[in-house]
Amino acid sequence: MSEHTMTIGGARAGTARRFDVVNPATGSVFATAPAAAPDDVEAAVSAAHQAFASWKRDEGARRKAMHAAADAVDAAGPELAALLTAEQGKPLTDAATEVQRSALWLRYHADLELPVEVVRDDATGYAEVHRRPLGVVAAITPWNFPLTLAMWKIAPALRAGNTVVVKPSPFTPLATLALGEVLRPVLPPGVLNVIAGPDPLGSLLTGHRLVRKISFTGSTETGKRVAAAAAPDLKRVTLELGGNDPAIVLPDVEIGTIAQRLFASAFMNNGQVCLAVKRVYAHASICDELVDALAAIARSVKVDDGTVEGAVLGPINNRPQLDRVTSLVDDAIVRGARVAAGGRAIDRPGYFYRPTILTDVSDGVAIVDDEQFGPALPVIRYDDVEDAVARANNSRFGLTASVWSADVAEAARIAADLDAGQVSLNVHGFGVWPDLPFGGHKWSGIGVENGRWGLHAYTETQVITGPVRP
């Protein structure tokens, strides 16, 4: 694979130092990425700051450039997808979908209206509300969906007239660096800058005086550090953080109908999805049947290198995450959990773990209380649905949740009592669309991304007012 470079001020930016990138399907280093120095951060933020002056002025040019960027992303689809699979581990078909969704986000936001709202126009005077861009946006992303999560930030930020410096996770820097290369000839210099490097690069960016907004997706722990870094300068923040997303399954479900969907919602991207089902509360009358059905699916799923035809799940992305999932499952077993499927790593090179279904486990055990972010799902028995709701809500997190029942009206009633930014009915994490706000309650984040709500988060309001219409 070719050596990818950073994009600063519309040009390639090499570095003296590079760092290793591991293919999680082999556990071996397969590429290197540039390691930005403090001077590179300075150069990237300055380039973005300079580009802001003209980029913010011409809405029509922005829309046109964003459509051209979407076309360029589509045209580079195979190259970007191959990089994603190599560095992230996901099957190639999923990687291709991720690239397509990145282009979709650009097109949707290019066409999204940001109207001036006239609030008063009468004898008492005139007032209208504008949405002005903020300036330089720092976009910091995790390793599970490197491209789409970057685009959740880049697309609305650019549409609103901001300029951007993106910093991907050091586990998955390559597809984002390649995105910068693909867009170099398409966007004006400095509008989109891509830098990479091991931590603490992110904190150099969040601390920079010219950055006016930080849009961060990652763990709750890091999100709190980002919020603290933003505070002295009152930088605006959007934080998309962790989740411990519950699915509540009522006694009236038809297991044959829901099991496959429930499994997919927990194990997509190998469970490394902020909004994946992380714990299932199943009514005692159907719990064993559900566990058997989920376990049968878990045993039948093809887990392999993402480049292998037919692979449904790939490896876990990195060694620390594999170790975390392993220790959470081992701990649950020591505490009496029964392994209905999986329960251990796969004996081959790379970070492969068997899709795991645990039962006879309950709240108070780490795999139920914490975010596992991997291919292991605890199924918890309950007798009373109000108790299940209380246990589901008894968490610092509040990202997504779901309720599963033949009675959709009853499911919707229960949904209203769940502390989560999105509750799906008979499906989980259903609403991930460019026009729908996505964000978490409590420790799962601050603010939302996507739709006009997400776009507004890349703006400041400005009122223009006077005795008569200008």
Active site residues: 240, 274
Phi and psi based region of residue 442 (left: phi greater than 0; alpha: psi -120 to 50; beta: remaining) = left
Of 110-118, 139-147, 305-313, 375-383, the segment contacting ligand NAD by CB under 6 A is 139-147
| Residue among 47, 241, 294, 411 that touches ligand NAD (CB under 6 A) | 241
Selected from 47, 226, 294, 403, the binder of ligand NAD by CB under 6 A is 226
What is residue 21's three-state secondary structure? strand
Phi-psi region of 232 (alpha: psi -120 to 50; beta: other; left: phi over 0): alpha
Return the number of the residue (31 or 411) whose C-beta is nearest ligand NAD: 31
Kindly tell me which residue out of 217, 244, 422, 426 binds ligand NAD, with binding defined by CB under 6 A: 217
Contact flag: residue 89 with ligand NAD (CB under 6 A)? no
Q: Smallest distance, Å, CB 449 to ligand NAD?
A: 7
Count of all residues that appear for the chain in the document: 470
DSSP per-residue string spanning 61-124 = HHHHHHHHHHHHHHHTHHHHHHHHHHHH---HHHHHHHHHHHHHHHHHHHH-----EEEEEETT
- Alpha-carbon Rg for the chain, nearest whole angstrom, is 23
Q: What is the nearest approach in angstroms of ligand NAD to the Cβ of residue 247?
A: 16
Query: Residues 333-362, buried b or exposed e (16+ Cβ, 10 A)?
Result: beeebebbbbbebeeeebbbbbbbbbbbbb
What minimum distance in Å lies between the beta carbon of 399 and ligand NAD?
6
- 280 binds ligand NAD, rule: CB under 6 A: no
Q: Residue 160's closest CA among 268, 95, 63, 245?
A: 63
Find the shortest distance in angstroms from Cβ 363 to ligand NAD: 20
Residues 427-456 touching ligand NAD, rule: CB under 6 A, are 440, 445
Taking CB under 6 A as the binding criterion, the range among 44-52, 140-148, 257-265, 300-308 that sits at the site for ligand NAD is 140-148
Give me the residue label for tokens 């004996």: 347
Binding to ligand NAD by residue 362, rule CB under 6 A? no
Query: Among candidates 274, 224, 270, which has minimal Cα distance to 245?
Result: 274
141 near ligand NAD, rule: CB under 6 A: yes
Of the candidates 44, 47, 83, 140, which one interacts with ligand NAD according to CB under 6 A?
Answer: 140
CB contact burial 165-197 (16+ within 10 A = b; e otherwise): bbbbbbbbbbbbbbbbbbbbebbeebbbbbbbb
Please, what is the end-to-end C-alpha distance for the chain in angstroms? 57
**97: contact with ligand NAD by CB under 6 A:** no
* Cα gap 7→192, rounded to integer Å: 8
- Shortest Å, Cβ 463 to ligand NAD: 32
142 binds ligand NAD (CB under 6 A): yes
| 314: alpha, beta or left? (left if phi > 0; alpha if psi -120 to 50) | beta
**Which one of residues 94, 240, 245, 304 is an interface residue with ligand NAD (CB under 6 A)?**
240
Answer yes or no whether residue 324 interacts with ligand NAD by CB under 6 A: no
Beta bridge partners of 28: 23
Q: Is the CB of 161 or the CB of 223 nearer to ligand NAD?
A: 223
Out of 218, 306, 434, 451, which residue is the one contacting ligand NAD (CB under 6 A)? 218
- Residues of this chain that bind ligand NAD (CB under 6 A): 140-144, 149, 167, 169-170, 199, 202-203, 206, 217-219, 222, 225-226, 240-243, 274, 371, 373, 399, 440, 445
